[in-house]
Every structure is written in structure tokens, then in C-alpha cells.
Amino acid sequence: MGLLFGGLWIGQNINLLPLGASANAPIYDELFKVLLTIGTILFLGMVVLVVYSLIRFRRRPGQTGDGAAIEGNLSLEILWTAIPAIVVLFVGLYSYDIYERMGGMQPLNHHANDASSHEHFNSGNGRIWGGIGSSSLATPQQSAAIPIDVTAMQFAFLFHYPKGDFISGELHLPKNQPVTLRMESKDVIHAFWVPEFRLKQDVIPGQPTILNFTPTKTGRYPIICAELCGPYHGGMRSTVVVEGAEEYQDWLLSNTKVSTSEK
């Protein structure tokens, strides 16, 4: 019992995660709490069992002879087959549900530009886009999500804003607006990771990938390349700036001007 409550308490009160700044971050943190709770209970339970056995059943000086010749116990075996089975079934279904809520089950490959997915983009029926999936080609221009093309190369990210047609080294996003990143790599595999968004997607040469999400908190967060891509892999970082709608528009405008005047 104490174990159960201890686990629950740790699961609910220990926060090991960084700030959550995207719409799927709270969902993620919910999953994390559940996993941490279950994990702690199981782990502490095993530790207590092992340590208790070692102390209680240790061989005392002068003691000889064998322990009881118990070779097995069917109902116990069934019990400890069933408990983990139920636990993993629960965890599996639960994380499926979480993933569904993040939008991850959306088959982006083929339906990214058909009507049904636009509905999700537009209607905002509580569905939060944090989904990731491979995609051949999407034309998200018509949707409400802001489309941005991401190019990764050794050792930098480039963000191309179709609206304004300019390229930036920093990713600027307006708060509470769904975004669609269409990512492709020029050379080797990289990965786009923003810990505060709880999102990661490999950026693969020759095979565009899509990442949808909605940032919810303003601030500057690191973009980290998470796939070994060469000597400077560790230095391949960028910044995502989440800002209010107006600042974002200003930024967009100023950049558009710059790039057109340069041309």
C-alpha cells in the first residue's frame, strides 16, 4: 500500500521534464506522469522484494542445509503473467489514445491534401496537431496551418516561409497557430527536435517528412539536431521563437522586405 501511494506521489509530484510549450506537451506530460507512476511502483516493488528476501532469507552463521524444495506454483505464475499483461495492455491502449490525441495516427502520406484532412486543419474540433508522419507531398497552403519548408544540411537548419518567400535561420512562429513543417534534408539524416514541444522528427534525404504542431507559449526554445550527422552534429542547433501574432507579422513583413529588396 505504502508502495502504491509512494509511487503515486512520486509520479504526480516529481517533475523531470522541461517546460511544455506546445499543444501536445500537456498531453505528453500526462502520459509521462502515468508511466512514471506505474514504473516507480513496479521498480520499488521489485527492489523491496529483492532486498527483503536477501535480508530475511540470508544464511546465518553456522546454518547449513537447503531451503524448501518448492519448484513452482501455477497460480502464482498465472498471477504474474496476468499482472504485467494487464499493465502493458493498459499502457499500450492509453498511449495509443495519447497518440491519437496528438494527431499521430493521421496517415499523412496520402491524405494530407484531401478534403478530410483539411477539415481537421480548419475546423479545430479539439484535435491538436502534433502528429508526425512521412509524406510525399502536401500542399498545406490552402489550410489554416502555417506551412513552412525546412531544409536540413550539415550543419544547419533553414526555414523557408512560402508566404513572403524568404529563408530564415531561425524559426519564428505565432502563438496558438497550427504549423506544418515540411522537412527534407540535403545530405544525411538529421532530426528536428524541440524538447519544449516534446516533438521530434527525422529529416531524411530523399524522403520528405511532415511535422504538425501548435506552439502555445511564447519564448525562445532550442531546436536541436538529434541524429548523428557528422563532426559538428553537437553544434547543429537553432532557435524557435514563439511570439504573439503581431510580432510575428512584423517579423514576417520585415523579412519579406529585406529579401525582396535584395533581389
Partner 1 sequence: MTLANSSSNSEAIQKLQPTGWMKYISFSLDHKVIGLQYLVCGFIFYLIGGALAGAIRIELTTPISDFMPRDVYNQVLTLHGTIMIFLWIVPVVNGAFGNYLIPFYVGARDMAFPRLNAVAFWLIPPAGLMLISSYFITGAAESGWTAYPPLSITSPAAGQIIWIISVLLLGGSSIFGGINFIATILKLRQPNLKLMQLPMYCWAMLGTSILVVLSTPVLAGTLILLSFDIVAHTGFFNPSLGGNVIVYQHLFWFYSHPAVYIMVLPAFGLVSEILPVHCRKPLFGYTTMVYSIMAIVILGLVVWAHHMFTSGTPPWMRLFFTIATSFIAVPTGIKFFNWVATLWGGKISLNSAVLFSCGFIINFVLGGITGVALAQVPFDVHVHDTYFVVAHFHYIVYGGSVFVIFSSIYHWYPKFTGRMLNETLGRFHFLLTFIGFNLCFAPQHWLGLNGMPRRVAEYDPNFAFINQISSLGALLMAISTLPFLWNIIWSAFNGGIAGDNPWNALTPEWLTSSPPPIENWEGNAPLVTEPYGYGTINQEDLVEPTPESPSEESSQ
Residues 63-92 that bind ligand HEA (CB under 6 A): 84, 87-88
Contact positions with ligand CUA (CB under 6 A) in 209-248: 225, 227-229, 233, 236
Shortest distance (Å) from residue 35 CB to partner 1: 5
Query: Cα dihedral angle (202, 205, 210, 213), rounded to 10 degrees?
Result: 40
- What is the Cα–Cα distance from 190 to 230, expressed in whole angstroms? 10
Helix (H) or strand (E) holding 167: strand 166-168
Residues 6+ apart with CB under 8 A from 203: 150, 152, 183, 184, 185, 189, 190, 191, 192, 209, 227
Residue 102 contact, options partner 1, ligand HEA, ligand CUA, none, Cβ 5-8 Å cut-off depending on partner type: partner 1
Min dist. Cβ of residue 163 to partner 1 (A): 25
Regarding 195 and contact with partner 1 (CB under 8 A), the answer is yes
The enclosing H or E element of 117 equals: helix 115-123
Closer of 144 and 158 to ligand CUA (Cβ): 158
The radius of gyration of the chain from alpha carbons, rounded to an integer in Å, stands at 25
Q: Determine if 212 is a binding residue for partner 1 (CB under 8 A).
A: no
Binding residues for ligand HEA, per CB under 6 A? 42, 46, 84, 87-88
| Binding stretches for ligand CUA (CB under 6 A) | 155, 190, 225, 227-229, 233, 236
